[in-house]
Copies of this chain bind each other. A is one copy, B any other.
Amino acid sequence: MSDIIEPRVLKGFRDYLPDAESARASLMRRLESTFQAFGFVPIDTPSLEYAEILLGKGGGETDKQVYRFVDHGGRDVALRFDLTVPFARFMAEHVEELYLPFRRYHMAKVWRGENTQRGRYREFMQCDFDIVGTDSASADADVVQVIASAMKALDVGDVRVRVNHRGLFNRFLAAAGCSDKSVALLRAVDKLEKIGEADTLALLATEVGGAVAARILDFIKPEGDFASTLAKLFSFCAPDDAEAVAARDRLADVYKIVQASGLADSIVLDPSITRGLDYYTGVVFETQLVALPSIGSVCSGGRYNELASLYTTKKLPGVGASVGLDRLIAALDALGVSARGKAGSAVLVANQGEALLESYHAAASRLRGKGVAAEVFPEAKRLLAQYGYAEKKGIPYALLLDEASLAAGQYPLRDLAKRSTATFASFEELAAFLGSAR
């Protein structure tokens, strides 16, 4: 006993048991179908990269969350902490082999040594999609459409993609004479939902004084619909400001395209959406579940000017978003929507004697030929134990072949939930029933 090593995982890391893994895989398959319907293609990049690539040249102590170490060859390496930086490196390296605009999705794990007390995991799946090589309303609108369509495919109910444009906010700040504080102001506004209006006002006031703070708070309040909110936002900017005009026109174009695609109900203009990061330069998105707003944004992103400027002089403007898979899984749980995939077989071929193993396997093999997932219980344990196994695994039926039924060419099938047995007169009838049962 003393030689036994205690089986445990690292803090912040998780095992996925079959039902949880099936549910996750099912969500990912549905996301993937949506991405593909919009012409996005998959890529993959290494989990481990040069630390210099992931952190930049100055990255000595920049990111304490990164898993970084020296490998066997003395190289300074790190596990990727997001999929954006590897994508930037990927584009810089492969742009000549590819085509632009390049629409890619990437669903893969990333690692961050975060404080797990905040309910964060240190290993989690990211699902990113981006369109690079174009600065256009068409691409911006595509991302909004992908978000709305993906959420429909996931059965999470109605969603609101909350859209804003960094340019309008920035030009308003310019008009108000406080452009130099923009980063701090963006971050303060970003906290509105968490800390409430009064605290946001106080926070803004410490930066720019009470009068401008009140004006900012006014700016970030939406009107009744997209067009009137947009008109209001523009009215806060200088009317001859070309950047503000371009931002207003871009948002108007995005809305028209989304509307033409039948998704107008899914998009709202919300000037309080800023996204904390400096990175974004144009439209920004967050996605709210109407039935569960408290869970926060389940898909966020925006437009950036230069994806890969660390690795290439080539300009690569882009737009994209990242799906919060863990948050979506939590939302489906909270909404009582089953995210569960088919974890088990459709039928268990019960084992009532090892002399009949060949017949059991022949029947299972024929069922698979008809597209029915089937498994043979490998040992002749008592039937109740076999039923218990099936129920625990989520297998709804047990096929009860014995010498008599085999001789008669009959197929007795036990419904494990109803605890009743129906006998099918032919294999075809059995297969048709099981094929339609799931």
A138-B47 in contact (CB<8A) = no
B37-A16 in contact (CB<8A) = no
Residues of B within 8 A of A262 (CB): 362, 365
Number of residues of chain A lying within 8 A (CB) of chain B: 117
Q: Which of A92-100, A225-233, A293-301, A424-432 is the contact stretch?
A: A92-100
Does A56 interact with chain B (Cβ within 8 Å)?
Answer: yes
Query: Which of A100, A253, A348, A365 neighbours the largest number of chain B CB atoms within 10 Å of its CB?
Result: A365
Convert A7-51 into 0s and 1s, putting 1 for each residue whose CB lies closer than 8 angstroms to a CB of B.
111110111111001101100000000001111011111111110
A43-B14 in contact (CB<8A) = no
Does A260 interact with chain B (Cβ within 8 Å)?
Answer: yes
A25-B42 in contact (CB<8A) = yes
In A59-92, which residues have CB < 8 Å from any B CB? 64-65, 67, 69-73, 75, 77, 79, 89-90, 92
Does A351 interact with chain B (Cβ within 8 Å)?
Answer: yes
Does A248 interact with chain B (Cβ within 8 Å)?
Answer: no
Does A404 interact with chain B (Cβ within 8 Å)?
Answer: no
A357-B137 in contact (CB<8A) = yes
Give the interface of A toward B (CB within 8 A): 1, 3-11, 13-18, 21-22, 24-25, 36-39, 41-50, 52-53, 56-57, 64-65, 67, 69-73, 75, 77, 79, 89-90, 92-94, 97-101, 103-104, 109, 111, 113, 122-123, 131, 134, 136-139, 141-142, 145, 149, 253, 256-257, 259-263, 308, 310-313, 342-345, 348, 351, 354, 357-362, 364-365, 368, 373-379, 388-389, 392-393, 395
B361-A138 in contact (CB<8A) = yes
Which of B14, B37, B136 is the one whose CB lies under 8 Å from A373? B37
Residues of B within 8 A of A311 (CB): 4-7
B393-A41 in contact (CB<8A) = yes
- Closest Cβ of chain B to A159, distance in Å, is 17
**How far is A421 from B282 in the complex, measured between Cα atoms in Å?**
38
Nearest opposing residue in chain B for A89, CB measure: B7
Nearest opposing residue in chain B for A77, CB measure: B10
> Could you show 5 A-B contacts with beta carbons less than 8 Å apart?
A3-B57, A5-B57, A100-B389, A134-B378, A257-B357
B47-A261 in contact (CB<8A) = no
- Closest Cβ of chain B to A433, distance in Å, is 18
Which of B10, B56, B374 is the one whose CB lies under 8 Å from A37? B374
A342-B36 in contact (CB<8A) = yes
Residues of B within 8 A of A392 (CB): 98-99
B260-A46 in contact (CB<8A) = no
If A15-B90, A53-B8 touch, whether A145 touches B39 (CB-CB below 8 Å) is no
A97-B378 in contact (CB<8A) = no
B260-A37 in contact (CB<8A) = no
If A5-B53, A17-B94, A257-B358 touch, whether A39 touches B374 (CB-CB below 8 Å) is yes
Residues of B within 8 A of A393 (CB): 39, 41, 99
New A-B contacts (10) at CB < 8 Å, excluding given A9-B45, A138-B377, A149-B368: A8-B50, A15-B94, A25-B42, A47-B111, A101-B378, A103-B375, A138-B354, A141-B361, A145-B365, A260-B357
Which of B71, B109, B138 is the one whose CB lies under 8 Å from A67? B71
